Amino acid sequence: MNISGIAIAVVLATFPSAIPIWLAALGETVDQASGVLDLGVEGIMLMGAIAAFVVDYFYHSALIAFIVAGLVGLAFSAVHAFISITLNGDQVVSGTALWFIGWGLSGVIYAAYFGLAITPPSVPTIGSINIPVLTSLPIVGKVLFGESPLFYISILITIALWSIMFRTQFGLNLRSVGENPLVAEVMGVSPVIYRYVSVLFGGFMAGLAGAYLTVGLTGSFYFDMTAGMGFIAVALVYFGKWNPWRVSVGAVIFGLVYALSAELESIYTSVPYQFFSMWPYIATLLIILAVGKSAHAPDALTMPYVRE
């Protein structure tokens, strides 16, 4: 394959690889901006993935599959919200517990419906939306105007979130809750309500991200198929400095890393595949290193708000 062929293959695979991390990271951005760290994303994504897969398999509706996955994510994050906001529990422990529950339960649900079959059943993936005329543009046409619906949804959510977080009173309140909940409360902004809304939104987005993995991308469910994507999404929030735009850029960079390592793996078969497979994880470490100390987290991140 020539260089331009490789480049086109990589570019075409970039957005599909980016979308799950992108959606999850956008949700986590809001989560963290309000001062709650949700490490359960990985588990919630897995729950979204299995929920969407089961719904689509039995009811043949991708739309309902996505909605159900989002709601399952929301329900899961409600547990995290209750423990970390209402009970003032440790957010790290609670998030880790949710990660474990989602990790195990997704596999259990899969086995309950489909047994421990060797060949996994599959559902048709949702395909892509081709915007007429624009799709036929050279090079960028297919990449920008022939993507999965979730690509356009991700962009819309990015714009919406940025506008809400940085251009509305609601967004200002939300961020003030993440920086200093005591001051926010004195100003008449309820940290509890803002944090609940943020965590539930984050869960919903993680559920969608998981649904995209099964119904949108692969058409199948595999045990622990996220393989760390949820945590990479959390890392991207740091990279994006709690700004939806920067988070989106990070997600696309990651899509590129995934696409590139998959493509190179298929070209350089003489190099052991493990060295390509470990790339996204090393890239995450490098990205965190690159952000360095410049990432200023919301002051009250992971701090429970205890009213005196």
Partner 1 sequence: MNYIKGIQIVFFIIIGLLVSSLSFLMFHISPLNGLASLIDSGFGSSIALLETLKVTTPLLIMAVGLSVPFTAKFWNIGGQGQLIIGEIAATATGLALSPYLPPPLVITASMGAAFVGGAAWAMPPTIMKIKFGANEIITTLMMNFVAVYLLDYLLIGPMEGSQAKLVHAPASNPIPASDMLPKLVSTVGLSAGIIIALALAGLFYFILNYTNFGYELRVIGESRNAAKYAGIKADRRILESMAISGGIAGIAGMVLVFGTTQILIPQFFSDISTAYGYVGIPVALIASLNPLAIIASSFFLAGILNGAYIMEALYSVPIDVVITIYGTIMLFSMIGVIGDVFKALRRWIK
Site residues (vs partner 1, CB under 8 A): 39, 43, 79, 83, 86-90, 92-94, 96-112, 115-116, 222-224, 227-228, 231-232, 234-235, 238, 272, 274-275, 277-278, 281-282, 284-285, 288-289, 291-293, 295
Whole-number Cα distances in Å, 200 to 216, 254, 291, 307: 22, 25, 28, 22
Q: Shortest Cβ distance from residue 266 to partner 1 (Å)?
A: 17
* Residue 119 CB, nearest approach to partner 1 (Å): 16
Q: How far apart are CA 207 and CA 106, in angstroms?
A: 12
Written as one letter, the residue type at 224 is D
State the nearest-atom distance from the C-beta of 86 to partner 1, in Å: 5
Residue with smaller CB distance to partner 1, 108 or 155: 108
In terms of CB distance, is 11 or 262 closer to partner 1? 262
Q: Calculate the alpha carbon distances from 291 to 71, 111, 165, 232, 246 in Å.
A: 33, 41, 22, 14, 12
Residue 88 or 266: which CB sits closer to partner 1?
Answer: 88
CB of 249 to partner 1, least distance (A): 18
Give the nearest distance from C-beta 288 to partner 1 in angstroms: 4
In whole angstroms, the minimum distance from the beta carbon of 106 to partner 1 comes to 8
For partner 1, the closer CB: 125 or 261: 261
Q: Which is nearer to partner 1, 142 or 195 (CB)?
A: 195
What's the rounded Cα separation, in Å, for the pair 229 and 215? Answer: 17
Residue placing its CB nearer to partner 1 in the complex, 92 or 140: 92
Residue number, 107 or 216, with CB nearest to partner 1: 107
Q: Least CB distance from residue 2 to partner 1, whole Å?
A: 29
